[in-house]
Amino acid sequence: MSDDIEIRAVASEEELDAVKELYRTQKAFLGLFPDGAFEQRAASNQIYVAWLDNRKAVGYVAFTTNGRYEVRIAHLCVSPAFRQRGFAKQLVAALVEAHPGHARIRLNCRSDYPAADAWRRLQFSEVRRFPGKKLDGSELIAFSFPINETPLFDQIENDPLPVVVCDANVVIDIEDDSRPHHGSSTGLLVDWLFDEIDLRVTSEIFADFDRQDEPLRSDMISAAKEKWTQVSGSELDIAEALREVQRIMGPPNDDSSVSDQNHIATAATVEAAAFVTRDEGILEFRDEIQSSLGLRVLSPPEFITDYDSVLNSHRYQYRELSRSGIERGHVARVDEFDLELFIDQASGERLKSFKAELNEMLANPREWEIYRVSSKGNPNIALIAIHVLKNGAREVSRLRLNRKLIHRRFGRVLAEYLADQPLGAWRSGERRTVAITDPMASPTILDALSRRGWLQADNQWWRLSLPGSWTQHDLSSELDSLKDSKMLPGMIVNQLSHAVQAEHSVIGNEEKTQRLEKLIHPGKVTFGELPTWVIPIQVRWAQELFDFRLWDRGLFDPDTSLVINPDSAYYKRPRNSPTSSNGRILWYVSGNRSKGGGCIRACSALTKRVTGTAKNLFREFQRFGVYEWHHILQFFKQADTAALAIQFTDTELLENPLALEDVNQILRSHGMGTQTFPSAVKIPDAAFHEIYSQSMKEKL
């Protein structure tokens, strides 16, 4: 009789306890993984469990995803009594099925572990071998399993590994196995983290070591010189960061405090993902340091637990958009800024020909629009050239970032913005196609495009705008029409058609429906099981998060400030909140109607919900930059109060905001009572589409 096995994500504390019990039986091979890390993975649906006869956990896989479109396995563990029965293969298959938009599954395994042969039997390929970071001199093998071999993934350039700066106490812990914290600090060296982070130190560490007694002093100085790479930054930038550190922490009161502050200032200047320390005197200032400098400060176990959110914070600090004062404007002459910063000399592009191309575009303003993104301190941030075609089509022939911003945090954030909203190209209410045809577009931008609903065909990237509500039949017919009219390449239509024909009516496939709506944004589909909540928000936060009309400013005026984030987060109390991580949000702006309140004004895609304490959620979502810590504390009163963070994207401003009385009339017609929306309310799908349809009609 075949085994009755079900693979599913951890759904309760009892199920997570079963996973931890399996982990403890194999901890010697799996390495350090704190309870908090298990809880974090479970909350993110990143632990799948194999259940035998729906009652016994016989194996699990714990994983994460990264910016290289990889599913990274931290653990795959099967109980020794249940091996050689195909459970590991089923866990891998579950990862593949759940991540069709990723390129591959990756993991690291010691070459002397029996598991190395097991990965080969599971059809994983050996990518490379390299020495591990462990003190025993182990060798690691990097294994890979393909999920999606789309050429796009091969063109995405990997950013340098995120830098994690270690304090002197952590380095001593790692290098001296007699230290009481050796075990927890060496967790930073676990195999699955090896090629995900770059552990470094600052030059200030030698001042720390000079204050130690012999022989520790000499041993640590030698270890730091031989094994640890130092980070370096501009002295002027470090001095500026140091002034901010001293504002937060106060003037140093001894030599040790001087070193602490120098470590932090240097780590912030080089845009390190984190500063890892056990010093409680530093950790007590972590929230202020993160809010002001964008630097996460954690203990080693906390870093392993919060690994995902730390790296997300490192890659995308949206607060830098609003703080930089960047603006977008029409280009009138090519000599307005330094074009040399936007050409790809390595690929043979030359300044003279690049300038001639732009001059030719400027000579034909009916067909070409050229924009520059700049700030008060930098007139040369980005350059965009758009060809206006017939039938509402747009062709972005040049989409360039200043090459000095490549691999910088600000450059990555700006790439996300440009990929999400190329100058309002598909937000006019018209059906449009947008193609990016720049043969030398920055890999940073290509990386962002693939996250923002763009599809690739023949070295071009396409985005489709289909406003309105669509049945499955009508959407399929529309795609056929676009293919016949050659407005979209056949390869793109085939990818879209595949997304339309997925099994949207199956519970659990809500993410596929949400992905489809992203591909036709701002269009919505009338089929599937995607839930909708109406969520109240105050006028002030609606202004900050998505609706500039409340400021009487034109949202898509090309000469306005670019401060709306492609992604945002909203904090609320857990009671009466969305219960799933995929859905739609209708934003009900509360308050006085004369000030923009009392109506539904926008629609967003809900992509994540996380519960936790207010302080922990702020640390995870602070990168979105709208809320400061004092806002969170003012609302929740206590740092440890239970809270919920809702992450959302693809916000669409409704053409005709619907007043509360009109919303209630629709809800009553669908069997609901009258609502005032003091908290989130789930509404029927049919009610959503009627509200959405009414709010998109032009006022008479």
3-class secondary-structure state, position 324: helix
The CA-to-CA distance between both ends of the chain, in Å, stands at 69
Of 584, 575, 609, nearest to 529 by C-alpha is 584
Sheet of 163-166: strand order equals 229-230, 198-201, 163-166, 274-276, 296-298
The pLDDT of residue 563: 42
Q: Which residues contact 365 (CB under 8 A, 6 or more apart)?
A: none
Q: Are 102 and 71 contacting, i.e. CB atoms less than 8 angstroms apart? A: yes
Q: Which residue has the tokens 């758009």?
A: 386
List b or e across 480-494, with b for residues whose CB sees 16 or more CB atoms inside 10 angstroms: eebbeeebbbeebbe
The pLDDT of residue 586: 96
- Phi and psi at 330, nearest 5°, equal -70, 145
pLDDT tens by residue, 550-564: 444 322 333 333 345
Which tokens belong to 365?
């303003």
pLDDT tens by residue, 234-284: 999 999 999 999 999 999 999 999 999 999 999 999 999 999 999 999 999
Of 429, 465, 384, nearest to 653 by C-alpha is 429
H-type helices in 550-637, by residue range? 614-621, 629-636
DSSP string, 42-85: HHTT-EEEEEETTTEEEEEEEEEE-TTSEEEEEEEEE-GGG-SS
Q: Which residues of the chain have pLDDT under 70?
A: 1-3, 67, 133-137, 149-159, 313-324, 421-430, 543-565, 594-595, 625, 698-700
> Directed axis angle between helix 614-621 and helix 629-636, to 10°?
150
Q: Which residues contact 475 (CB under 8 A, 6 or more apart)?
A: 466, 500, 520, 523, 525
Q: pTM for the whole thing?
A: 0.76
The pLDDT of residue 427: 46
The pLDDT of residue 151: 46
Q: Are 300 and 170 contacting, i.e. CB atoms less than 8 angstroms apart? A: yes
Q: Are 435 and 580 contacting, i.e. CB atoms less than 8 angstroms apart? A: no
The pLDDT of residue 452: 83
Could you tell me which residues are beta bridge partners of residue 51? 6, 57
Q: Which residue has the tokens 């001293």?
A: 246
pLDDT tens by residue, 167-202: 999 999 999 999 999 989 998 998 888 888 999 999
SS3 breakdown of the chain: % helix, strand, coil, rounded to 5?
Answer: 40, 25, 35
| CA–CA dist 464, 578 (Å, integer) | 29
List b or e across 621-645, with b for residues whose CB sees 16 or more CB atoms inside 10 angstroms: bbbbbbbebeebbeebeeeeeebbb
Q: Which residues contact 167 (CB under 8 A, 6 or more apart)?
A: 260, 263, 275, 276, 277, 278, 279, 282
Q: How do beta strands 296-298 and 274-276 pair?
A: parallel
List b or e across 88-123, with b for residues whose CB sees 16 or more CB atoms inside 10 angstroms: bebbbebbbebbeebbbbbbbbbeeeebbebbeebe
Q: How do beta strands 47-52 and 56-65 pair?
A: antiparallel
CA angle 160/165/169 to nearest 5° reads: 155
Which tokens belong to 496?
């879209």
What structural domains does the chain harbor? Answer: 5-148 (3.40.630.30), 163-315 (3.40.50.1010), 327-525 (3.40.630.30), 532-695 (2.30.130.30)
